[in-house]
Chain A
């Protein structure tokens, strides 16, 4: 199966093409075709996993070259798929969670007239995402990278009849372009320094390159990762991206696509290992974003936006881990996988709540839903426990490892990064508990026309499966460091380092902070009264509610000057460039006008001209003595 891994991409791609080309004729069965394609991709991935498990660790990676993509002189790029432990991990995550979300969407989108189109886009996304993780070169990765960007754009703007949704889609697209430029520049640098774009060449050549070169490449890759993974300062699009249907938020903007940045960093380990400065920047961006996301999450009343902020914060953890180097790569991916499960589960839970509450997203109008939606409550609760990092749920095994790893190192770094991770854990506990309690506990604050009810089985079953994953996947993978060993061929073996604090102390501190955060949330939102309207709040809260004025900052720092620059350039183009061309043309025209006068129509003038020429010629001959 490993050599047939291209089928995993081909199936959803073909399904998307068929669904889009057939149009309304496929309305009746299109969603099931989408589910089948995604499920088929999962089966292919699972087959590949079984085959790989049967091999010794060093021989698990398989690079299949399909055909030559760009046969151009020094730049030879093949379309090749790399099926190694890292990419298979992603394939399984994407296809498993993706298939569940496909199933969920069948019910969630049941009343939408464009459900077939939705599944076509979802399949397109799955295909592009699989291409992204299976590619064996940065260029092919970039194809997938743009493909998921396109799918994300299409799905955020799925209900593009609403103007703000279409705007949100545009925003996501534009911000992602900024990141893409980073990736393009990084590829250019790689081609210049290494002479190739495939992972193998880069891994071979990277140790020989200078630190400055690697740092430049690394920082450009970081820009790309920031754009895709909504890390500071390119995080502003993620909140607005919640305009898309909730399954999209679950699949693309929580579980898979936004983690592509982390994948990129981990995949580029050979580059980052040689560029400590770039690693520190990656870690710093991750640490900053995890706190930023947490603060934003504490202030948001929109359940999806709160979850989006949480996603940003959790990816911050992953970036932090990825920035720590070999000791963090595996934990970053580990947390990515568990996060994919519990966050997707919670998003599906939020979708289920919205489904039962007539698309209400304001948590202040929820409350006491645990009785009305038992399944949703339980599954969401499991996800909640997982993200809090309560043992023995998934999040504990992944996040706690990251916090421990953050405390490893020398000088100021372990204290800053470790401290941020530690505080982030407490903040996470607070805002997730706030979300959980505001939604499912306390008094009912429903509007009169809302009659909460449990969602159909097509929706609850995927939620249950994801909840089970949220609960036990971490434990399953962490036993005996299974996952770390599984990834070792890719991430490299990490020497064991002792954190600056004893591990039990770190664990205890984390748990204490988590309990404190959750308790505070319980007292404030679980037991206490929650006003139906957002109360006037302190400056800090307002700041957090408005995403730390990111939009205003972007507008002031980039958009306005950009517009002015554009206008100036347009003016310069019109006045100088066009002006020069037009003036020149006018000059030639007037020259023609002047020479037109020579053609006065008088035959005798022409004869005079001839004779003058003759005289001049004779004069030259005479004077020149020829």
Chain B
């Protein structure tokens, strides 16, 4: 079986993650959707690394992980700050962006 199969898998996981971002009102769950999308990308990168026989894809995936870790730290901090201020983490609540 070709490693290309994992790229298809990555596409499906990415779509599920994006749908979760659109559908879920809980900020943490939406955030997990984002994480899933990142991981799908990582999977694709690793698969490409395998297909091309080069390590750069894996390095890229590694970098993505590092950046994702930083992102998670900051994102969760933001969620906590919002929760402290509003007692909710629903994405529909802060409709102050309404024009």
Query: Is the A/B pair a real complex?
Result: yes
B92→A602 contact, CB < 8 A? yes
The answer to the question of A601 belonging to the interface, with a C-beta cut-off of 8 Å to chain B, is: yes
Cβ–Cβ < 8 Å partners of B97 in chain A: 599, 601-603
A619 → B minimal CB distance (Å): 14
Q: Is A161 an interface residue (CB 8 A)?
A: no
Stretch of A78-86, A346-354, A604-612 at the chain-chain interface: A604-612
Judging by beta carbons under 8 Å apart, are B91 and A600 in contact?
A: no
Q: Which residue of B lies closest to A606 (CB)?
A: B97
**Residues B22 and A607 in contact, CB atoms below 8 Å apart:** yes
Q: Is the CB of A596 within 8 A of B99?
A: yes
Q: Which residue of B lies closest to A592 (CB)?
A: B99
Contact, CB under 8 Å: B99 / A598: yes
How far, in whole Å, are A142 and B43 apart by their CA atoms in the complex?
Answer: 90
Measured CA separation A598–B97 after assembly (Å): 11
Minimum CB–CB distance from A621 to chain B (whole Å) comes to 14
Q: Chain B contacts of A608 at CB under 8 A?
A: 22
| Residues of chain A with a CB closer than 8 A to B22's CB | 604, 607-608, 611
State how many angstroms separate the Cβ of B39 from the closest Cβ of chain A. Answer: 18
A608 to B91, CA, bound (A): 13
Interface of chain A: mostly helix, strand, loop or mixed? helix
Q: For residue A603, which residues in chain B have a CB less than 8 angstroms away from its CB?
A: 91-92, 94, 97
* Contact assessment for A601 and B25 in the assembled complex, using a CB-CB cutoff below 8 Å: no
Cβ 8 A contact of A599, one of B21, B91, B92, B99: B99
Residues of A within 8 A of B88 (CB): none
CB-CB contacts of B4-28 with A at 8 A, as 1s and 0s? 0000000000000010011101000
Within 59-99 of B, Cβ neighbours of A (below 8 Å) are at 91-92, 94-99
Contacts of B30 in A (CB 8 A): 604
In whole angstroms, how far apart are the Cα atoms of A607 and B91 in the complex?
Answer: 11
**Chain A contacts of B21 at CB under 8 A?**
604, 607, 611
**Given contacts A607-B21, A611-B18, A611-B22, A601 and B95 within 8 Å (CB-CB):** yes
A604-B92, A611-B18 as given contacts; A599 in contact with B98, CB under 8 Å: yes
Are A604 and B91 in touch, CB under 8 angstroms?
Answer: yes
The 30 listed contacts between A and B (C-beta, < 8 Å) are A596-B99, A597-B99, A598-B99, A599-B97, A599-B98, A599-B99, A600-B98, A600-B99, A601-B94, A601-B95, A601-B96, A601-B97, A601-B98, A601-B99, A602-B91, A602-B92, A602-B95, A603-B91, A603-B94, A603-B97, A604-B21, A604-B22, A604-B23, A604-B25, A604-B92, A607-B21, A608-B22, A611-B18, A611-B21, A611-B22
Q: Which residues of B contact A (CB under 8 A)?
A: 18, 21-23, 25, 30, 91-92, 94-99
Give chain A's interface residues, CB within 8 Å of chain B: 596-604, 607-608, 611
Known: A601-B94, A603-B97. 17 other contacts (CB 8 A): A599-B97, A599-B98, A600-B95, A600-B98, A600-B99, A601-B96, A601-B98, A602-B91, A602-B95, A603-B91, A603-B92, A604-B30, A607-B21, A608-B22, A611-B18, A611-B21, A611-B22
